[in-house]
């Protein structure tokens, strides 16, 4: 156990907020920071988040604490005669329904699909009473579909850039709002989607992760160009956050239409690193294995459609080391001094042979955590300034 914990990444520098912990559970701590970060977008409220955390710390299950807050807000929205209240409450309810599922992987529990549908329904009710632009779409995927939203920028030129946003392992498409809302304000149209292994695509359609993400993103680009007008084909941008930041470079390598690739953070061999961790976890006797590590193992098996025997081999497929040199579009690599996978983004950046930018957030920025959790305002401002600088005019 001691050897295992020594392998786990350490984050935070004393005297900065990244050193404080909301939970000893790494994922739960990260998700709480994420929820707090969404408050500046009015997708959450500080008091509601901290009250939910307090109930969780007092012994209530994660999914129950967050779903209770979501239910309260959904009922408030339904009972209100004011569209102002409906807009605000439905948006926050949608967020809390999603967060309830971010630390829950009981695949036989009907709350997976039920709470997913609740989140979607609340978000669509928010869009109905809001002036925020958003169109729900279902992108064909095999015999199923990938849930997505297309956002047409209200200030976009007739021929505008398109940003396609890929979320991470634990969050959903709409959790990338800190990027796409800033992009929309700058005249960039956006497509956000839950891909294989992510968000609603996993929990409602049962679609697990796949390493060959080009077979997902290239069809998405095709779909956008076929179904939406006013897209500047010379300014197609891929943005990937957390695990999505590992995925999208491969898609950019295989699709020459991609003008810009943004990774937050960069990582060349994400799968290999986590395969080693899971191997160590599996070697620990189950009776002494901490619940946090048990959850991690089960979560990877679930999201990758694997078994305990195949999960490590499946993860090793997620290795782009040999092809990173082939990435030939402008690539922006985001990083933080309290990043969980410390040093990996810089290794990835140094491997690139294309035009590139390295965007580092230090402790004083407030955006130094993994994927800038909790510091989304500063992160989006600095990132989108850099994106605008490199757009083809």
pLDDT band at 9 (very low <50, low <70, confident <90, very high): very low
Strand residues in 152-273 grouped as ranges (E): 160-166, 189-193, 231-241, 258-264
pLDDT of 139 over the 60 cut: yes
**Residue 335 exposed, middle or buried by CB count within 10 Å (0-12, 13-18, 19+):** buried
What mean pLDDT, rounded, does the chain reach? 94
| pLDDT tens-digit map of 59-84 | 999 999 999 999 999 999 999 999 99
- Quote the pLDDT of residue 11: 62
In this prediction, what percent of the chain has a pLDDT beyond 70? 97
pLDDT score for 17: 87
Instruction: Say if residue 4's pLDDT is above 70.
Output: no
Q: What pLDDT score was predicted for residue 263? A: 98
Q: Is the pLDDT of residue 340 over 90?
A: no
Mean predicted confidence (pLDDT) in 14-40: 91
- Measured on CA atoms in the order 376, 202, 163, 248, is the torsion positive or negative? positive
Percent of the chain, pLDDT > 90? 88
In angstroms, rounded to a whole number, what is the distance separating the alpha carbons of residues 197 and 28? 19
Residue 181 to residue 166: CA distance in whole angstroms: 15
What is the number of other CB atoms lying within 10 angstroms of the CB of residue 81? 6
- Say if residue 15's pLDDT is above 90: no
* Predicted structure pTM score: 0.94
Contact between 130 and 205 (Cβ < 8 Å) = no
Highest mean pLDDT among 21-25, 291-295, 377-381: 377-381
Counting other chains too, the contacts that 70-73 makes at CB distance below 8 Å and 24 or more residues apart are 70/94, 70/95, 70/96, 70/97, 70/100, 70/115, 70/118, 70/119, 70/122, 73/48
CA separation, residue 380 to residues 361, 376, 377 (Å)? 11, 6, 5
Average pLDDT over residues 30-41: 96
H helix or E strand, kind and range, residue 331: strand 330-336
- Average pLDDT (278-307) is 92
The answer to whether 375 and 369 have CB atoms below 8 angstroms apart is: yes
CA 160 – CA 133 distance, rounded (Å): 16
Domains defined along the chain, listed by start: 24-132 (1.20.1440), 134-268+320-393 (3.40.50.1820)
In three-state secondary structure terms, 375 is coil
- Contact by Cβ (8 Å): 320, 240: no
pLDDT score of 315 more than 70: yes
Q: 332 with 356: CB under 8 angstroms?
A: yes
Q: How confident is the model at residue 344 (pLDDT cuts 50, 70, 90)?
A: very high
Average pLDDT over residues 125-154: 97
Type and span of the H or E element at 105:
none
Confidence label for 199 from pLDDT (cuts 50, 70 and 90): very high
Angle 238-378-194 from CA coordinates, rounded to 5°: 35
**Beta strand 189-193 pairing with 231-241:** unpaired
3-state class (DSSP) for residue 104: coil
pLDDT at residue 133 greater than cutoff 90: yes
Nearest CA-CA partner of 366 in 8, 10, 20: 20
Q: Whose CA is closest to 97, among 127, 76, 72? A: 72
User: Sorting pLDDT into bands at 50, 70 and 90, what band is 2?
Assistant: very low
pLDDT tens digits along 238-288:
999 999 999 999 999 999 999 999 999 999 999 999 999 999 999 998 888
Compute the distance between CA of residue 337 and CA of residue 222 in angstroms, rounded to an integer: 37
């Amino acid at each position: 156990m001691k050897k295992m914990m020594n392998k786990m990444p350490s984050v935070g520098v004393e005297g900065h907020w990244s050193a404080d912990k909301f939970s000893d559970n790494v994922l739960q701590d990260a998700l709480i920071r994420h929820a707090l970060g969404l408050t500046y977008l009015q997708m959450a409220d500080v008091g509601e988040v901290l009250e939910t955390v307090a109930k969780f710390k007092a012994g209530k299950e994660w999914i129950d604490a967050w779903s209770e807050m979501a239910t309260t807000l959904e009922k408030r929205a339904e009972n209100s005669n004011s569209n102002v209240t409906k807009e605000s409450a439905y948006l926050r309810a949608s967020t809390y329904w999603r967060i309830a599922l971010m630390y829950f992987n009981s695949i036989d529990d009907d709350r997976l699909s039920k709470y997913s549908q609740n989140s979607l329904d609340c978000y669509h009710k928010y869009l109905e009473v809001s002036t925020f632009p958003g169109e729900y779409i279902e992108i064909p995927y095999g015999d199923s579909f990938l849930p997505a939203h297309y956002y047409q920028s209200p200030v976009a030129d007739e021929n505008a850039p398109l940003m396609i946003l890929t979320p991470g392992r634990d969050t959903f498409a709409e959790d990338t709002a800190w990027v796409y809302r800033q992009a929309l304000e700058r005249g960039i149209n956006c497509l956000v989607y839950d891909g294989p292994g992510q968000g609603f695509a996993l929990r409602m359609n049962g679609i697990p992760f796949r390493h060959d993400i080009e077979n997902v993103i290239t069809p998405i680009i095709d779909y956008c160009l076929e179904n939406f007008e006013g897209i500047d084909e010379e300014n197609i941008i891929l943005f990937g956050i957390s695990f999505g930041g590992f995925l999208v470079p491969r898609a950019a390598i295989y699709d020459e239409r991609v003008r810009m690739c943004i990774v937050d953070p960069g990582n060349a061999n994400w799968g290999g690193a986590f395969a080693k961790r899971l191997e160590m976890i599996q070697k620990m006797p189950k009776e002494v294995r901490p619940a946090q590590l048990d959850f991690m193992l089960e979560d990877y098996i679930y999201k990758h459609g694997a078994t305990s025997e195949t999960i490590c081999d499946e993860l090793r497929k997620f290795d782009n080391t040999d092809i990173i040199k082939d990435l030939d579009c402008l690539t922006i690599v985001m990083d933080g001094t309290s990043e969980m996978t410390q040093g990996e983004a810089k290794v990835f950046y140094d491997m690139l042979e294309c035009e590139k930018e390295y965007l580092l957030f230090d402790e004083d920025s407030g955006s130094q955590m993994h994927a800038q959790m909790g510091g989304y305002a500063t992160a989006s401002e600095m990132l989108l300034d850099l994106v605008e600088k490199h757009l083809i005019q």
